[in-house]
Structure 1
Amino acid sequence: MRRTCSALRGYVQNHRVINIPFLRPYTSSNGISSTKVSFHTTDWNTRNEFFKFTRGRFILDENENLRNREVAFDMNELAKVAADSVGAAQCVDVRKFTDGMFNKAFLMLMNDGQEVVAKVPNPNAGHAHYTTASEVATMDFARRVLDTPAPRVYAWNSHAQSHSVGAEYIIMEKAQGVPLSQVWDAIALPQKLQVLLALVQIQKRWLSISFSHYGGLYYAKDVRSSSASHYVQDGVVIKNSEFVVGPATGRDWHDAGRAGIDIERGPWSSLSQYLRSIGERETKATQILKPPKQIALFCGPKLYQPDPKEKLTALGQYQHILDAILPEDNTTCDPYLWHDDLHADNIFVDPSNPGKITTIIDWQSCHISPLFNYNADPAFLDWDGLAPENLDLTPKPDLSGLSSEEKSAALRDYAHLNVFIAWRKLMQAKNPGLFEVTEFQKTPSYGLLFLAHRMFEYGEAHFQSLLVDLKDTWPTLTAVTGQSPFPFDFSHADIERIKSKSDGAVAGTELLAQVKETMGELWPDKGFIDHERYDACRAELKEMKEQLIEQLAESEEERAEYERYWPFD
């Protein structure tokens, strides 16, 4: 059952919730002044596309997905608020950025040439008030305390019904520079290394401050908190009354219906409290909520089949072993504030000096969590393979006998791997505590913790498989806690049943990977596809479905089960 660990990679990728970046819709003219722009009255509310999700289509539960991304508010009032926030007389143009999955954002041009970004959360963004209030405080803390280039906020309101706009909003400065996505593939290796070094230095500043509690970060005036939270900077306790730790804002506290269940949401003063609350959250979700459609892997009679009873059993086992599987290193466990979605459209660089990071955007749902919860590797490295066994740079490949296309592909893979290794080497040298996180994330203990976080959606098969293997290392894990003997007695029949379920989950993951590779750009990542590919995607999925069912089903009953589990409309 050791291959279970390798299968976690697919789960980790599906776990990462990625906000789609704001794309730049136009470049404004320079030198615009009030004397050159005639004032006119524009009813921005007539632009229906401002309020709806227009970026593409959904291949599953489309009506619900679109409804969760539609916001009704008064754009005319938002434009006035934006103008007032920067001392302008009037907003003269509004352009919508490409839709995000959780927000709408607009570039607003003022009569005096100033530009600001206005951001409005979708209904699926998170808890009302808390999500916006935490995002604003987090950006401010990142900019002023962590010395990180986060956008400056000019105005905001987290109480939708308290003002004329009729929705929560944030008015912030436009990001300086260009998205890293526009230059990363074109810049030379030395400039890539400069970007990596700049990011290492930023993350080093994030690691310089830990917190007394786990949860979301807020201004003290915006939450009722009985906890006397503080942060520790380079070993010095700082009690800053301006900022406090309050309820968690991470997506796993909101997604798949979790927002509506009555659970403890923090803040938590200990790691054990925080992780036990996660177990209780997943338990309640499993007991109360309708399970979501499974798109992390294919399900069916010979594959993985979600089982609420098995989920609850696994969550009970999680609570029993929790203290034993935690890492001993304090840095790995301590609460840190982190930006965990560093893809190439959330990082802006100086176009004349791409090695200089000018802005990091999209701080929504960033919260204070144990360091091992975070992805230590930035998403723009696009690394989806297993971690290298060592940090030795790989030699240049032998290109003799290869076609030009094969040579190009081999050189791309060579550069890709060595850039990733260079990143890990920099991390090990400059941020050894963060590097320890990458080592811990290779262990079965981390796999158990990770799977417990999303047990409601998936994970019980792999969880129990890892748990069986844990028996071999239990004495080592419990040497400090004194928890012995191993608390579970798996019979031979239990082990065979668990192995069979785990093998089915692995097979479902591998089938999904094959279909994704076959479909290429037509694969609807997270159920979403561009407008122009929608019809072709649906046709290809229908064909894939027929082929899979024909291959797997051995009876009409099994065929019906595969039909029932098929995740797409």
Structure 2
Amino acid sequence: MHRPPSTRLRCYLHTINPILNQHCRSISTASTLSYNASPDRITSQRDWNTNDEFFKFTRGRFLVNEAENLRTREIRFDMNHLARAAAESIGATQCISIQKYPDGMFNKAFLMTMDNGREIVAKVPNPNAGVPHFTTASEVATMDFARTVLNTPAPRVYTWNSHAESHPVGAEFIIMEKSEGIPLSHVWDTLKLPQKLQVLLTMTRLQKEWLSVSFSHYGGLYYAQDVQPPPDSHYVKDGKAVYDSKFAIGPATGRDWVDAGRSMLNIERGPWSSLSQYLQAVGTRETQAIQSLKLPKQIALLCGPKLYQPDTEKKLTILTWYQQIIDALIPKDTAITKPRLWHNDLHDDNIFVDPHNPETITGIIDWQSCHISPLFSHNPDPAFLHWDGLEPETLDLVPRPNLSGLSPEERSAAVSEYTVHNVFIGWRKLMHAKNPDLYRAVTFRNTPSYGLIFLAHRMFEYGEAHFQSLLVDMEDTWGDLPAMTSDVPFPFHFSEADIERIKLDSDGAVAGTELVAEVKEQLDDLWPDKGFIEHERYDDCKAALQEIKNQILDQLAETDEERTEYERYWPFE
């Protein structure tokens, strides 16, 4: 518990990184709509409502709370009226075919072809997508802002509705243009290193545009007529304040305000004029979630008698501590604390490129839940980089691996690791040179202060053991925090018994995280990310999980009571 500060931090990053990566993957895999993927069904009939699969989740199965997961991803609406609205929005007479894209975790998307040959995309949010009205209204305004102010190729919206009860469709929807090009996922692995670096250079330029704009408040972006904005709501473009009557700042729409039942909470959702207010509201939100919602089953770490067991009272106590030290955690660098709008889900199915010139980005889709928050809280790195390691200690490229004596499989793995590492280093070099504010945000994201802020944002699901351990360690460096002075004492006292208990909790949580890593390694492509697996792999996945579960129980459970406890915490059905 009393390792040197640099060693403690690297240890923290090593243990918390799987949780950070799991959270990021939960965004990227969950929202995939892959608008150029093979359709589930092509239909040319006139009564579209007879196709039951349009309304249900058909992409695969769940191994965690399947009934509930399917229920929250089924939505009934009038497809005939949706097709009619789509046709009218672009001046066509009628829709002649509908293709359903593979389900996203929060939305359904359809490719509609009109009698005049034009194709458009229709998107309908599932019940779990977010707070009614605000989620759709914010997504539409954000796409418009991205395209017209941030010079980003976001889809153009032809028509939309954010009040389900007010329209014959009976659901919220967005009718938008189909992005040109092909998903980056179709070509990324085939691109040569110089081509990949050109894609990254284009992404760097886009992020530079995003960095050129900050906002007066933290929250979500809307059209002014869809919310009641604060009187001084505005944005700043290249240093100049813009009081635009078209756009306004309203309630937050990020996934951490929605997931695991949070959308049902009666809480303050912003906007907020200061970072301290915003972070305090996060603590209040997590407190109410813990007090009023059922704790979700956890797959970021396994729990049980010899591991860590979630504790409601500890969670609430920690949030009280968090709210006492928020101001001390906030960095003084205003460039990384200003409210910024960002696309946090830059995986390779959300980015479209020119098939004849794949270095050219032609479209970025899926702006749902993009929100205005401090730069340091946004994901700086595109998911298509496939970087799961710790932050590199230097920006030096790694040398080519020695492939002599390796099997073909080993050579392939070594070359892949070398490529991924150096592409990521190339990305960091571009960021350092072109977007230094973003690079400084990355630096802050590798500090204990950011770790505490991040864990507080997800305290309802997990994080209390890691939070306690980080907080105890912070006593040694409290005076080094930018917001602190030497005469402000560390506000908590931990006895030796407290420290020992916290160490046991932390060790148990680390062991649970490492167990998940081992299970994922054993399952490989059978691992059910976010509890989801495709139909064709469901039986094999379920059988493999049952075998692994039996192994874990045989190894850890010494009594029938302990076995029952492990069974209770086991997340998979």
Per the alignment, residue 74 of structure 1 pairs with 78
Question: 1:460 and 2:464 equivalent?
Answer: yes
Question: 1:282 and 2:286 equivalent?
Answer: yes
Question: 1:507 and 2:515 equivalent?
Answer: no
Per the alignment, residue 547 of structure 1 pairs with 551
Shift in alpha-carbon separation, 1:267–1:347, aligned structure 2, 3 A: same
Question: 1:128 and 2:132 equivalent?
Answer: yes
Q: How many residues align?
A: 557
Question: 1:437 and 2:445 equivalent?
Answer: no
Distance 2:264 2:168 in 1: 27
Q: Which moved more, 1:113-122 or 1:551-560?
A: 551-560
> Pick from 359, 362, 365: which aligns with 1:355?
359
Per the alignment, residue 37 of structure 1 pairs with none
Question: 1:195 and 2:207 equivalent?
Answer: no
Aligned-residue RMSD, C-alpha: 1.2
Structure 1 residues without counterparts, runs of 5 or longer:
28-39
Distance 1:495 1:41 in 2: 68
Instruction: Kindly state the Cα deviation for residue 478 of structure 1 after the two structures are TM-superposed.
Output: 5.6
Per the alignment, residue 33 of structure 2 pairs with 21
> Pick from 563, 566, 569: which aligns with 2:570?
566
Q: TM-score, normalised by structure 1?
A: 0.96
Instruction: Kindly state the Cα deviation for residue 482 of structure 1 after the two structures are TM-superposed.
Output: 6.8
Amino acid at match of 2:504: S
> Pick from 267, 273, 281: which aligns with 2:277?
273
* 1:357 partner SS: strand
Per the alignment, residue 36 of structure 1 pairs with none
> Pick from 389, 406, 416: which aligns with 1:412?
416
Shift in alpha-carbon separation, 1:516–1:483, aligned structure 2, 3 A: farther
TM-superposition CA deviations, 1:313-364 (whole Å, max 9, x none):
1101101111111111111111000000000000000000000000000000
* 1:504 partner SS: helix
Instruction: Kindly state the Cα deviation for residue 5 of structure 1 after the two structures are TM-superposed.
Output: 3.0
> Pick from 17, 20, 23: which aligns with 1:12?
20
Per the alignment, residue 145 of structure 1 pairs with 149
Q: Which moved more, 1:323-332 or 1:126-135?
A: 323-332
Q: Percent identity?
A: 66
Per the alignment, residue 61 of structure 1 pairs with 65
Amino acid at match of 2:95: C
Distance 2:232 2:125 in 1: 30
1:233-312 superposed matches below 5 A? 233-312=237-316
Shift in alpha-carbon separation, 1:461–1:480, aligned structure 2, 3 A: closer
- Alignment check: 8 A CA contact 1:324 1:481 kept: no
Q: Which moved more, 1:11-20 or 1:304-313?
A: 11-20
- Alignment check: 8 A CA contact 1:25 1:95 kept: no
Shift in alpha-carbon separation, 1:479–1:13, aligned structure 2, 3 A: closer
Structure 2 residues without counterparts, runs of 5 or longer:
2-7
Shift in alpha-carbon separation, 1:53–1:555, aligned structure 2, 3 A: same
* 1:14 partner SS: helix
Per the alignment, residue 226 of structure 1 pairs with 230
Distance 1:346 1:482 in 2: 48
- Alignment check: 8 A CA contact 1:116 1:173 kept: yes
Distance 1:20 1:544 in 2: 29
Shift in alpha-carbon separation, 1:478–1:188, aligned structure 2, 3 A: closer
Distance 2:126 2:299 in 1: 22
- Alignment check: 8 A CA contact 2:83 2:112 kept: yes
Q: Tell me which stretches of 4 or more aligned residues in structure 1 moved more than 3 Å.
A: 478-483
Distance 1:164 1:483 in 2: 64
Distance 2:498 2:106 in 1: 42
Amino acid at match of 1:10: P
Distance 2:425 2:482 in 1: 33
Q: Which moved more, 1:187-196 or 1:201-210?
A: 187-196
Distance 1:282 1:421 in 2: 36
- Alignment check: 8 A CA contact 1:4 1:506 kept: no
Q: TM-score, normalised by structure 2?
A: 0.96
Amino acid at match of 1:364: Q
TM-superposition CA deviations, 1:408-465 (whole Å, max 9, x none):
2111111110000000000000000000111111111110000000001110100010
Instruction: Kindly state the Cα deviation for residue 25 of structure 1 after the two structures are TM-superposed.
Output: 4.7
* 1:345 partner SS: coil
Per the alignment, residue 117 of structure 1 pairs with 121
* 1:105 partner SS: strand
> Pick from 87, 90, 100: which aligns with 2:91?
87
Shift in alpha-carbon separation, 1:549–1:41, aligned structure 2, 3 A: closer
Distance 2:264 2:413 in 1: 48
Amino acid at match of 1:22: S
Per the alignment, residue 519 of structure 1 pairs with 523
Amino acid at match of 2:160: W
* 1:185 partner SS: helix
Distance 2:38 2:126 in 1: 23
- Alignment check: 8 A CA contact 1:149 1:359 kept: yes
